[in-house]
Protein backbone atom coordinates (compact mmCIF):
# COMPACT_ATOMS: atom_id res chain seq x y z
CA UNK A 1 0.00 0.00 0.00
CA UNK A 2 1.28 3.44 -0.89
CA UNK A 3 1.60 6.21 1.65
CA UNK A 4 3.40 8.83 -0.38
CA UNK A 5 3.20 12.38 0.80
CA UNK A 6 1.48 14.80 -1.49
CA UNK A 7 2.49 18.42 -2.00
CA UNK A 8 -0.20 21.00 -1.24
CA UNK A 9 -0.31 24.78 -1.51
CA UNK A 10 -2.93 26.73 0.41
CA UNK A 11 -3.53 29.98 2.26
CA UNK A 12 -3.85 29.72 6.02
CA UNK A 13 -4.87 32.89 7.84
CA UNK A 14 -3.76 34.89 4.83
CA UNK A 15 -0.33 33.30 4.61
CA UNK A 16 0.77 31.20 1.62
CA UNK A 17 1.78 27.74 2.80
CA UNK A 18 3.25 24.82 0.93
CA UNK A 19 3.60 21.50 2.67
CA UNK A 20 3.81 17.77 2.11
CA UNK A 21 1.10 15.72 3.75
CA UNK A 22 0.06 12.12 4.00
CA UNK A 23 -3.37 11.66 2.38
CA UNK A 24 -4.77 10.25 5.61
CA UNK A 25 -4.03 13.39 7.65
CA UNK A 26 -7.11 15.52 8.29
CA UNK A 27 -7.04 19.30 8.19
CA UNK A 28 -6.90 19.96 11.94
CA UNK A 29 -4.09 17.47 12.55
CA UNK A 30 -2.22 19.30 9.78
CA UNK A 31 -2.91 22.72 11.31
CA UNK A 32 -1.95 21.60 14.79
CA UNK A 33 1.04 19.39 14.09
CA UNK A 34 2.66 20.96 11.03
CA UNK A 35 1.70 24.62 11.41
CA UNK A 36 1.50 24.63 15.22
CA UNK A 37 -1.87 26.36 15.08
CA UNK A 38 -3.29 24.67 18.15
CA UNK A 39 -6.39 26.85 18.52
CA UNK A 40 -8.50 24.34 16.59
CA UNK A 41 -9.31 21.52 18.97
CA UNK A 42 -10.03 17.85 18.42
CA UNK A 43 -12.83 16.35 20.47
CA UNK A 44 -14.61 13.46 18.83
CA UNK A 45 -13.02 13.35 15.37
CA UNK A 46 -16.19 12.10 13.80
CA UNK A 47 -18.15 15.26 13.27
CA UNK A 48 -20.32 15.36 16.37
CA UNK A 49 -18.72 17.85 18.79
CA UNK A 50 -17.75 20.87 16.66
CA UNK A 51 -14.54 21.72 18.57
CA UNK A 52 -12.55 21.44 15.32
CA UNK A 53 -14.63 24.02 13.38
CA UNK A 54 -12.57 26.08 10.92
CA UNK A 55 -13.44 28.28 7.96
CA UNK A 56 -12.72 26.67 4.59
CA UNK A 57 -13.22 28.81 1.48
CA UNK A 58 -15.50 31.15 3.38
CA UNK A 59 -17.72 28.70 5.24
CA UNK A 60 -17.47 26.90 8.55
CA UNK A 61 -16.70 23.17 8.31
CA UNK A 62 -15.68 20.33 10.59
CA UNK A 63 -11.89 20.45 10.32
CA UNK A 64 -11.67 16.78 11.29
CA UNK A 65 -13.87 15.79 8.33
CA UNK A 66 -11.77 17.34 5.59
CA UNK A 67 -8.44 15.84 4.52
CA UNK A 68 -5.49 18.24 4.44
CA UNK A 69 -4.71 17.02 0.92
CA UNK A 70 -8.17 18.22 -0.18
CA UNK A 71 -7.25 21.77 0.83
CA UNK A 72 -4.78 22.23 -2.00
CA UNK A 73 -5.66 25.64 -3.44
CA UNK A 74 -8.02 26.46 -0.57
CA UNK A 75 -8.28 29.37 1.83
CA UNK A 76 -8.36 28.29 5.47
CA UNK A 77 -9.06 30.56 8.45
CA UNK A 78 -8.58 29.30 11.97
CA UNK A 79 -9.42 30.92 15.29
CA UNK A 80 -5.92 32.44 15.30
CA UNK A 81 -6.60 34.22 12.00
CA UNK A 82 -10.08 35.29 12.99
CA UNK A 83 -8.75 36.74 16.25
CA UNK A 84 -5.91 38.57 14.55
CA UNK A 85 -8.18 40.17 11.96
CA UNK A 86 -10.42 41.60 14.68
CA UNK A 87 -13.53 40.30 12.90
CA UNK A 88 -14.99 38.87 16.09
CA UNK A 89 -13.33 40.98 18.78
CA UNK A 90 -16.78 42.18 19.94
CA UNK A 91 -18.01 38.58 20.16
CA UNK A 92 -14.91 37.58 22.10
CA UNK A 93 -15.47 40.48 24.54
CA UNK A 94 -19.03 39.30 25.09
CA UNK A 95 -17.87 35.71 25.63
CA UNK A 96 -15.70 37.03 28.48
CA UNK A 97 -18.25 39.40 30.00
CA UNK A 98 -21.04 36.81 29.83
CA UNK A 99 -18.91 33.95 31.19
CA UNK A 100 -19.59 32.03 27.99
CA UNK A 101 -16.59 29.79 28.54
CA UNK A 102 -15.14 27.86 31.40
CA UNK A 103 -12.58 25.26 30.38
CA UNK A 104 -12.39 26.81 26.90
CA UNK A 105 -12.12 23.58 24.93
CA UNK A 106 -15.22 24.24 22.81
CA UNK A 107 -14.68 28.00 22.55
CA UNK A 108 -12.71 28.23 19.27
CA UNK A 109 -15.35 26.09 17.54
CA UNK A 110 -18.18 28.07 19.11
CA UNK A 111 -16.61 31.32 17.89
CA UNK A 112 -16.03 29.98 14.36
CA UNK A 113 -19.68 28.89 14.08
CA UNK A 114 -21.03 32.06 15.68
CA UNK A 115 -18.88 34.16 13.31
CA UNK A 116 -20.72 32.60 10.36
CA UNK A 117 -24.09 33.28 11.99
CA UNK A 118 -23.19 36.92 12.66
CA UNK A 119 -22.01 37.29 9.09
CA UNK A 120 -25.25 35.86 7.67
CA UNK A 121 -27.88 37.34 9.98
CA UNK A 122 -28.44 40.80 11.40
CA UNK A 123 -31.19 39.65 13.70
CA UNK A 124 -32.48 36.26 14.79
CA UNK A 125 -34.81 34.96 17.51
CA UNK A 126 -32.96 33.37 20.41
CA UNK A 127 -34.44 29.97 19.55
CA UNK A 128 -32.91 30.13 16.07
CA UNK A 129 -29.52 31.16 17.43
CA UNK A 130 -29.69 28.04 19.60
CA UNK A 131 -30.55 25.95 16.60
CA UNK A 132 -27.71 27.38 14.49
CA UNK A 133 -25.26 26.64 17.32
CA UNK A 134 -26.69 23.17 18.02
CA UNK A 135 -23.82 21.38 16.25
CA UNK A 136 -21.28 22.55 18.83
CA UNK A 137 -21.04 20.82 22.18
CA UNK A 138 -20.12 22.60 25.43
CA UNK A 139 -19.74 20.56 28.61
CA UNK A 140 -19.26 23.47 31.05
CA UNK A 141 -21.57 26.40 30.51
CA UNK A 142 -24.97 24.89 29.88
CA UNK A 143 -25.14 26.98 26.68
CA UNK A 144 -27.24 29.90 27.96
CA UNK A 145 -24.26 32.20 28.43
CA UNK A 146 -22.99 31.34 24.94
CA UNK A 147 -26.33 32.21 23.37
CA UNK A 148 -26.42 35.39 25.51
CA UNK A 149 -23.01 36.47 24.18
CA UNK A 150 -23.97 35.86 20.56
CA UNK A 151 -27.34 37.58 20.96
CA UNK A 152 -25.74 40.59 22.60
CA UNK A 153 -23.11 40.86 19.84
CA UNK A 154 -25.86 40.69 17.23
CA UNK A 155 -27.86 43.40 19.02
CA UNK A 156 -24.80 45.64 19.41
CA UNK A 157 -23.82 45.31 15.77
CA UNK A 158 -27.36 46.12 14.68
CA UNK A 159 -27.55 49.21 16.84
CA UNK A 160 -24.05 50.32 15.85
CA UNK A 161 -22.39 49.90 19.26
CA UNK A 162 -18.62 49.63 18.82
Partner 1 sequence: MGIKAAVKAPKFRYVRPQSLSEAISLLSEFADEARILAGGQSLIPTLNMRLSQPEIVIDINKLDELKGISLETGHVRIGAMTRHVEVMGSALVNENLPLIAEALPYVAHVAVRNRGTFGGSIALADPAAEMPACILAMQAEIVLEGPTGRRKVKADDFFYGLYDTAMRPDEILIEVLLPLAKPGEVFSFMELSRRKGDFAQAGVACRASISAKTFEKIRLVYFGSELKPTVGKNVMTALEGQTWSENIDEKIFSELEDDLDPIDNLHGSAALKMHWQKVLTKRAIAAAVKKTELV
Which residues would be at the binding site for partner 1 (CB under 8 A)?
1-4, 6, 22-26, 29-30, 32-36, 38, 45-47, 50, 53, 56, 59-62, 64-67, 69-70, 113, 116, 131-132, 134-136
Q: What are the strands, taking DSSP E only, across the chain? A: 6-12, 15-21, 53-56, 59-62, 75-77
CB of 119 to partner 1, least distance (A): 12
Question: Which residue lies nearer to partner 1 by CB, 4 or 160?
Answer: 4
The CA distance from 134 to 127, in Å, is 10
CA nearest to 95, candidates 38, 150, 132: 150
C-alpha distances (whole Å) from 138 to each of 81, 102, 107, 135, 142 are 22, 9, 8, 10, 7
Kindly state the smallest distance separating residue 131's Cβ from partner 1, in Å. 6
Q: Which is nearer to partner 1, 2 or 16 (CB)?
A: 2
Closest CB 142 distance from partner 1, rounded Å: 14
Q: How far is the CB of 148 from partner 1 (least distance, A)?
A: 20
Helix (H) or strand (E) run with residue 86 in it:
none
Rank residues 3 and 15 by Cβ distance to partner 1 and give the closer one: 3
Q: Which is nearer to partner 1, 68 or 100 (CB)?
A: 68
Helix, strand, coil percentages for the chain (3-state, nearest 5) = 45, 15, 40
Amino acid sequence: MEDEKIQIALRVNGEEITARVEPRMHLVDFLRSQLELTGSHLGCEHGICGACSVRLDGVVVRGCLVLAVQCDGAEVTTIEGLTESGEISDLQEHFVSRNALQCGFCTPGMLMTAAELLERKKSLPREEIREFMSGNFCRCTGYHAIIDAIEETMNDRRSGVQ
